[in-house]
């Protein structure tokens, strides 16, 4: 349905018409028109709907703006923070300011990722995130640990990693079970750890999306975890996820293939979705382009930022990532250690990552679907073919214009 956002059309208007990126890769593109104000204080949406239903008088008064595509807002399925804010340790007010900046940049839905934490720190972090979640600013929380392989810890604090079946793992489980229903949306675990398959089944039964990652295993453990989740979850529940495919997992070798063949096969079969960090540092652009051009894999790909408090900060500045210290570097955030420190977060936010891929000429429908629709499957099963609130206008150069609905007219939190 067309969505008027205010009753009186403003004097200064702009309009763009372009294909709207919907959730179904097999559907015909729908020409879509958006009309908005241009007053220097932000672009406010006036009308949005199918191009053949656009009010001619309104569009006729507007300055035409070239556009490559229109879309709903992005969803960042994996992000630890930004603008100096660490979701695991910053105050609720600081997190709320960061989330509002996310929305202003075009990220309408955010899952706040928490790194591996001990039980006390995890309980405190979840308590701090409850307020922005209850206010509708936060879509939920992703627990990236502590059920991770020590051999593939990445930037996570090794001293808090534990198997689900250990005493420490059971204390973490008690914190998870005590959280409000729906706050913890996703959880990453290494499937080879003792108790991981049983935990995966329990989480699936409870409606939490299981994510496989930070793993040093092969295909058998991957298959066992996916089988357990498939048997436990309801038919309409979201499919499992692979946490930042390629990163923090055993790499492929022709005599020791590790988990990658099993994970990619699961994605092709529709049994899993895969995250890709789209900053050009964590995964080569040639790999991103190949996956997004593959019709069997592209519908299961999610582009994520994995941004942290240090992302975009001046080089050399130091920040928190839960229990560890990270610093901003020329290429991407890194652990604040000597020698050759490991990568510790994405180089750019999700709007910049998406814009970079569009400017490089990657297929725009696949790119935007991977940042808009595929991640939303972790929150709901119903597909929304049209934007419900803010609308994004993308140029061929990768620039994005965020058309905002006035706060009182929003239909979602």
Contacts (Cβ under 8 Å, ≥6 apart) of 413: 135, 136, 137
Q: Give the start-to-end residue ranges of the domains of the chain.
A: 13-71+387-409, 74-378
Half-sphere exposure of 374 (CA within 13 A, CB side): 28
Provide the whole-model pTM: 0.93
Mean pLDDT across the chain: 93
- Residue 233, classed as helix, strand or coil, is coil
pLDDT digits (tens, 9 = 90+) for 95-115: 999 999 999 999 999 999 999
Q: How many residues does the chain have?
A: 413
At 410 the pLDDT is: 56
Average pLDDT over residues 128-135: 96
- DSSP one-letter code for 41: S
Average pLDDT over residues 161-166: 98
- DSSP one-letter code for 145: -
Q: How far apart are CA 61 and CA 59, in angstroms?
A: 5
Among candidates 374, 380, 363, 396, which has minimal Cα distance to 72?
Answer: 374
Contacts (Cβ under 8 Å, ≥6 apart) of 163: 147, 169, 193, 194, 195, 196
pLDDT digits (tens, 9 = 90+) for 194-217: 999 999 999 999 999 999 999 999
pLDDT digits (tens, 9 = 90+) for 220-260: 999 999 999 999 999 889 999 999 999 999 999 999 999 99
At 360 the pLDDT is: 96
For the domain 74-378, what is the CATH superfamily, name and number? Metal-dependent hydrolases (3.20.20.140)
Q: How far apart are CA 57 and CA 3, in angstroms?
A: 16
The tokens of 44 are what? Answer: 């406010």
Q: How far apart are CA 346 and CA 309, in angstroms?
A: 10
The tokens of 89 are what? Answer: 């340790």
**Has residue 382 got a pLDDT over 80?**
no
**Has residue 40 got a pLDDT over 90?**
no
């Amino acid at each position: 349905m067309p969505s008027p956002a205010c009753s009186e059309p403003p004097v200064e208007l702009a309009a763009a018409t372009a294909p709207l990126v919907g959730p179904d890769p097999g559907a015909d593109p729908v020409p879509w028109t958006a009309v908005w104000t241009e007053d220097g204080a932000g672009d406010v949406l006036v009308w949005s709907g199918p191009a053949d239903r656009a009010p001619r008088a309104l569009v006729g008064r507007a300055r035409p703006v070239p556009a490559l595509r229109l879309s709903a807002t992005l969803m960042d399925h994996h992000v630890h923070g930004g603008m100096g804010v660490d979701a695991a340790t910053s105050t609720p007010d600081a997190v709320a300011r960061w989330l509002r900046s996310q929305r202003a940049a075009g990220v309408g839905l955010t899952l706040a990722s928490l790194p591996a934490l001990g039980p006390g720190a995890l309980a405190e972090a979840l308590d701090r995130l409850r307020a922005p979640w209850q206010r509708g600013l936060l879509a939920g929380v992703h627990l990236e640990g502590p059920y991770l392989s020590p051999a593939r810890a990445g930037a996570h604090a090794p001293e808090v990693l534990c198997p689900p079946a250990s005493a420490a793992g059971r204390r973490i489980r008690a914190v998870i079970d005590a959280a409000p229903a729906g706050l913890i949306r996703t959880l990453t675990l290494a499937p080879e750890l003792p108790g991981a398959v049983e935990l995966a089944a329990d989480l699936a039964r409870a409606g939490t999306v299981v994510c496989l990652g930070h793993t040093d295993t092969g295909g058998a453990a991957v298959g066992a975890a996916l089988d357990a989740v498939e048997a436990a979850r309801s038919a309409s529940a979201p499919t499992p996820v692979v946490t930042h495919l390629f990163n923090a997992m055993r790499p492929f070798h022709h005599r020791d293939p590790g988990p990658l063949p099993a994970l990619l096969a699961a994605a092709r079969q529709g049994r899993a979705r895969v995250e890709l960090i789209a900053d050009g540092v964590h995964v080569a652009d040639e790999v991103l382009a190949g996956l997004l051009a593959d019709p069997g894999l592209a519908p299961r790909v999610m582009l994520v930022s994995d941004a942290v408090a240090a992302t975009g900060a001046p080089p050399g500045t130091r920040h928190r990532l839960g229990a560890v210290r990270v610093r901003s570097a020329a290429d991407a955030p890194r652990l604040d250690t000597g020698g050759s420190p490991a990568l510790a977060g994405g180089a750019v936010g999700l709007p910049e990552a998406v814009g970079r891929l569009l400017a490089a000429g990657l297929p725009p429908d696949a790119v935007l679907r991977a940042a808009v629709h595929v991640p939303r499957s972790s929150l709901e099963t119903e597909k929304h073919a049209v934007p419900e609130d803010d609308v994004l206008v993308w140029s061929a150069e990768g620039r994005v214009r965020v058309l905002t609905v006035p706060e009182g007219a929003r239909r979602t939190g």
